[in-house]
A = this chain, B = another copy of it.
């Protein structure tokens, strides 16, 4: 203990930022481990938050990880275990004895157990199921049946249920008795004899109320709840809209079957944002962190999109080849194709990104389609005119005068700039319409982000370009 204190004092009390303080804690643990001072390490680990311990473990080689894991107390071991990646969980399960594994399973919250079971290979699942108590086994089986990303799949069964007729004193006695292994005690759920949800009462209300008050007199009957099949994204919306710490999950008969807590919802928010961002970038979302994803898996997540988009680009090729003669006469037109396509693509993705995010935040819905289109048209006119004016000046100054390209005439510049304005208009309309249509068709609007919009807008911009060129330049 003395040497440990010394170590703590050697480090400055105040650090520059959150990251630095985290690094410092990691280093302390590494130092003790490398010096093989296992007793001191054990004491230090006990004081750490389970997240930091899990972080520390996950940077160790597997054998060493399993060894350090065994230094943890039974309770902390379960908490740390829940924070580990599925690979590491699997390794630990394979190295501990049945008794040790039983201990971990006892302490794990049900939602963490279910998360783990979904990732483990079949033979490991079998062993876990054999060791779990029959009660836990039945619950796991029930939970595994809920559809992925539903409220049922993220809920936990460890909540506090109270009865209407209890007094606040009795309620506190119950919390003290069963609270230790409940995921949250701050929101308690009042249920009838047939397990129907009748109301919620917070510990805050109970502390503020008289000890003799009846729960029925202080509970809130206007409960914000969700059902087992509700989408987890909608559930997380409830938390941020209503500032909740826990939401009850009911089945079709309005019976309370579980709760979702705010910490699970924060993970959902992170995961949903990652998914949206991945899909918008044309990548199939992956559950695993980038550094732990294999090259082959990354390839599998990316190649279908690239192939699909490459094949769709055939249309631009077809359009270009049908205007091959026009291009042969006016090679100057070719110079501006990339600029027109890029600007169109960028204008379109601006609109689509804004609309996709607004849809997922619930700011707009399909009913707003026409007001969104009307707004985008006005924005497009402003953007299109600005770009056309700037483009005209740039083309004549840079491409004609500075670069001395004689074939870039004023009519060519005019064709380019008119195309620019019209392309921006089409791009913005396509960019805002497609995500909303996708949403209406119950597809993920994020699919309609820049890669697809770009491909579509490319074709449109080329058609406009050659249409106008043919008319104005008489080719």
A270 touches B269 (CB 8 A): yes
CA distance A328 to B263 in the complex (A): 63
Is residue A274 contacting chain B, with contact meaning CB distance below 8 A? yes
Residues of B within 8 A of A307 (CB): 386-387, 390
Are B363 and A291 within 8 A (Cβ)? Answer: yes
**CA distance in complex: A145, B341 (Å):** 45
Complex Cα gap A358–B407 (Å): 47
**A254 CB to nearest chain B CB (Å):** 6
Q: A162 → chain B, closest Cβ, in Å?
A: 14
Cβ A240 vs Cβ B266 within 8 A: yes
Q: Determine the residue in chain B with the shortest Cβ distance to A243.
A: B263
Residue A212 is within 8 A (CB to CB) of chain B in the complex: no
Q: Which residues of B contact A341 (CB under 8 A)?
A: 338, 341-342
A331 interface residue (CB < 8 Å to B): yes
Q: Which of A269-289 touch B at CB < 8 Å?
A: 269-270, 273-274, 276-278, 280-283, 289
Query: Interface 1/0s, chain A 171-190, versus B by CB < 8 A?
Result: 01001100110000110000
CB pair B172 A450 closer than 8 Å: no
Contact with B along A1-22 (1 / 0, CB 8 A): 0000000000001100111000
Residue of B nearest to A297 (CB): B379
A306 beta carbon closer than 8 Å to chain B: yes
Structural contact, B49 and A222, CB atoms closer than 8 A = yes
Do A324 and B320 contact each other (CB < 8 Å), given the known contacts A282-B349, A307-B387, A311-B394? no
Cβ–Cβ < 8 Å partners of A403 in chain B? 318, 321
- B222:A245 contact, CB within 8 angstroms: no
Binary per-residue interface labels of chain A (298-339) against chain B in the complex, 1 for a CB within 8 Å, 0 otherwise = 110011011101110110111011001001100110111111
Given contacts A185-B207, A361-B274, contact A299 B382 (CB under 8 A): yes
- Contacting A313 at CB < 8 Å: which of B222, B305, B339, B405? B339
Tell me if A364 counts as interface (CB < 8 A to partner B).
yes
The answer to whether B349 and A458 have CB atoms under 8 Å apart is: no
Q: Could you say which of A91-99, A120-128, A135-143, A230-238 contacts chain B?
A: A230-238
Kindly name the residue among A269, A357, A391, A405 whose own CB sees the greatest number of chain B CB atoms within 10 A: A357
Select which of B19, B346, B355, B449 is within 8 A of A234 by beta carbon.
B19
Q: Is A203 an interface residue (CB 8 A)?
A: yes
Contact of A207 among B203, B337, B338, B451 (CB under 8 A): B203
- 1/0 contact trace for A389-400 toward B, CB 8 Å? 011001000110
Given A176-B208, A314-B398, A458-B342, A302 contacting B353 (CB threshold 8 A):
no
- Cβ 8 A contact of A371, one of B291, B314, B357: B291
Determine if A346 and B306 form an interchain contact, defined as CB atoms under 8 angstroms apart. yes
Min distance, Cβ A224 to any Cβ of chain B, angstroms: 6
A295 located at the interface, meaning its Cβ lies under 8 Å from any Cβ of chain B in the complex: yes
Docked pose: A228 CA to B158 CA in angstroms: 36
Whether A336 contacts B317 by the Cβ 8 Å rule is yes
CB-contact partner of A306 in B49, B290, B387, under 8 A:
B387
Q: Judge if A239 is at the interface, Cβ distance under 8 Å.
A: yes
Residue pair B273, A353 in contact (C-beta under 8 Å):
no
Question: Do the beta carbons of B324 and A335 come within 8 Å of each other?
Answer: yes
Across-interface contacts of A327 in B (CB, < 8 A): 327, 331, 334
* Interface hub of A185, A303, A334, A454 (most chain B Cβ within 10 A): A334
- Closest 8 CB pairs between A and B? A281-B353, A313-B339, A316-B338, A243-B263, A273-B273, A289-B363, A299-B382, A290-B358
11 new A-B contacts at CB < 8 Å, known A18-B237, A307-B390: A18-B226, A49-B222, A186-B203, A283-B350, A291-B371, A303-B382, A306-B346, A310-B387, A320-B337, A334-B334, A349-B451
Q: Residues of A with Cβ closer than 8 Å to B?
A: 13-14, 17-19, 47-49, 51, 172, 175-176, 179-180, 185-186, 203-204, 207-208, 222, 224, 226-227, 230, 234-235, 237-243, 245, 252, 254, 262-263, 265-267, 269-270, 273-274, 276-278, 280-283, 289-291, 295-296, 298-299, 302-303, 305-307, 309-311, 313-314, 316-318, 320-321, 324, 327-328, 331-332, 334-339, 341-343, 345-347, 349-350, 352-358, 361, 363-364, 368, 371-372, 375, 378-379, 382-383, 386-387, 390-391, 394, 398-399, 403, 405, 407, 424, 449-451, 454-455, 458, 462
Q: List 13 A-B contacts (CB under 8 A).
A: A14-B252, A269-B269, A278-B353, A278-B354, A280-B281, A281-B450, A290-B358, A309-B343, A317-B336, A318-B403, A320-B334, A321-B403, A345-B454
